[in-house]
Amino acid sequence: MQRLTLAQRPTRRLAKEHFRLEEIAPPRADDAFLLLRTCFMSVDPYMRTRMQPEGYDYLPHWQAGSLLSGYAIAKVEESRLPGWSRGDWAVGHLPMQEWVAHEGDGLRHAPPGAPPLSWLHPLGMTGFTAWLGMRLLGKPGPADSVLVGAAAGAVGSIAAQLAREAGARLIVTAGRKDKRDWLRGIGFECVLDHRAPDFDAQLQRAAPEGLTLDFETIGGTSFAAAIEAMRPGGRVIVCGLISQYQQETPRRAPPNLNRLGERGVAVIPFVAPHYEAHFETFLEEMTPRVTSGRLHWRLDMVQGGLAAVPGALVGLFDGDNLGKRIIAL
């Protein structure tokens, strides 16, 4: 069977040569309580942070030779574990390999039937991240002017819809025309290009009275522009800084960060694994939104199995996805 490892740590831009596809013997059914066949694997920007030599310590760092992992949907092929049967769908954080011997810890049962792809997006960790940032931490309401950057991406698209549902006024951004068209197509009126040279001026015109909430996913010059637009007493929910993950100092603060302190703006960074205790509440709230069709969500499905992972992950940092990127094995 195939598995994917890190051949070497990148120092700047991630490239396909930083990965190694290996052939190894598959696990046996008696190696663990469950024998899983991996069917769909999520690729996400946080994976680049696991390749950094320091910082981002909420998950173990990947070294040269490390077996990569990600959130995945797998089919149970053999089970010796009560509660699990052959044919069940299992969702969890799994190694990037075609077959997995697993003891069952941390796996979630997904509904039977068709592949439960929503469990890798609106009902998975990207949806959970968006829900945490908006519903639990940001808590927007009708009095808020909210900025969501990269709003056609996996997390941003869900976060923006939750803020709109709460009655807030939304400004959303995307760096590509087809992404901006998609956002307008699902009902967002104020859609900006965060890659435009005059983005800061566009943002000031779109929010002349200032922003009360910035759901920050991009970093860099986009974050600096959002800081200038923040209203006194506002809040910044720091979800990610994707534009900086490939730099030598990926956690560098914008040069105008002190403006937030001067204006009494609360800065709230978070990472989803620290809030696992809220996952069941998240599912209770979000499942009706998904099953009723009220929530718009889009998958960016890449064929090709594990061999497609390197190119798919590299492409995320060029913004070549529209929606949640997953790999079909």
| More confident of the two residues 296 and 57 | 296
For range 172-198, the mean pLDDT: 97
Instruction: Tell me the pLDDT tens digit for each residue of 189-201.
Output: 999 999 999 999 9
Are 128 and 155 in contact by the 8 Å Cβ rule? The answer is no
Distance CA 138, CA 276 (A): 17
- The whole-number pLDDT of residue 156 equals 97
- The whole-number pLDDT of residue 172 equals 98
Are 132 and 270 in contact by the 8 Å Cβ rule? The answer is yes
Place of tokens 């694997």: 41
Are 48 and 14 in contact by the 8 Å Cβ rule? The answer is yes
Helix (H) or strand (E) holding 288: helix 279-291
* Torsional sign, CA 253, 278, 264, 160: positive
* Amino acid making up residue 58: Y
| pTM across the whole model | 0.94
User: Residues with Cβ < 8 Å from 198, sequence gap 6 or more?
Assistant: none
| More confident of the two residues 318 and 168 | 168
Domains of the chain: 2-119+299-328 (3.90.180.10), 125-273 (3.40.50.720)
Are 173 and 149 in contact by the 8 Å Cβ rule? The answer is yes
Are 121 and 321 in contact by the 8 Å Cβ rule? The answer is no
Instruction: Tell me the pLDDT tens digit for each residue of 230-260.
Output: 999 999 999 998 888 887 778 788 999 999 9
